[in-house]
Structure 1
């Protein structure tokens, strides 16, 4: 029987996390520009999240990283709004309730850091992700918030935490 756990990212996870994110983005047909695919942060996610009010969590199964998600202050609205970032799961991680567990982990961290709302940017064809966000209480917005640089993400959602 496999063992699954959600834990904070460690330096040795960097390569696996970058591979998970890029693999899922390619699978979903996401543009490689104007999305997380080209973010420099992907290659050193551990260092990227070693700042106040930020954290990145991974899902590990038998020593292999199969998914992850992070929370960070939303650029431009840092005081009150955090952003759920780079939440991606390999196919073998899907359908097991891990998305909901990860969402809960991230939102609890955001709340503990004093954020009042959580923001997400996504794409229309990432239907499973959008369903998870809606089930978790996120509501659609008419336009983006903050300054993420992800101009190809055309759907925006927010939730009070």
Structure 2
């Protein structure tokens, strides 16, 4: 019996279509509102192109050569330049339960520090209980309102952490 091959790497242009499927699939699976979320973000269909600036990065997770998830770091829109946002962290059911969420999360937080950010912000939906639990374990604190200008008015969970 062979062991699964898991790779976490920076996004490539050919990852756009499979990653879009993973992201959009999670919204249907968890019954997250589509409007006012990452579901309707124009960049969801072109993730590679959306993460090409020097102060941002997006990682995908491959399982046996298949892209099944990812997460990225970008400056928090319309806010202080020292605060980044963890964006679009979604996993296919095939990846869940393998500890990869924490590994990817650690990689993103390290990248945020390396890029010079002082704080990391997250917006999420209350339906994503496992993800929120990971954020809390990593020391993210709940906020009472959104910050920045993400446009994700359907997200009801806002969190921040000093890096």
- Bin of the TM-score, shorter chain as denominator length: over 0.9
Aligned to 2:130: 128
Q: Distance in 2 between matches of 1:34 and 1:104?
A: 27
Matched, 1:9 2:48: no
User: Any conservation in 1 of the 2:31–2:127 contact (CA below 8 Å)?
Assistant: no
Aligned to 2:145: 143
* Secondary structure of 2:27's aligned partner: helix
Matched, 1:45 2:35: no
Q: CA deviation at 1:78?
A: 4.3
Q: Which runs of 5+ in 2 are unaligned?
A: none
Q: Distance in 2 between matches of 1:77 and 1:52?
A: 18
Cα RMSD over matched residues? 0.8
Aligned to 1:22: 24
Aligned to 1:100: 102
Aligned to 1:72: 74
> How high is the TM-score relative to the length of structure 2?
0.96
Q: CA deviation at 1:77?
A: 2.0
Matched, 1:118 2:120: yes
Aligned to 1:32: 34
Q: Distance in 1 between matches of 2:41 and 2:81?
A: 23
Q: Distance in 2 between matches of 1:158 and 1:49?
A: 21
Match of 1:83 among 74, 82, 85: 85
Match of 1:109 among 99, 111, 133: 111
Q: Distance in 1 between matches of 2:23 and 2:127?
A: 16
How many residues are treated as equivalent by the alignment? 161
Q: Which runs of 5+ in 1 are unaligned?
A: none
Q: CA deviation at 1:51?
A: 1.1
Matched, 1:54 2:56: yes
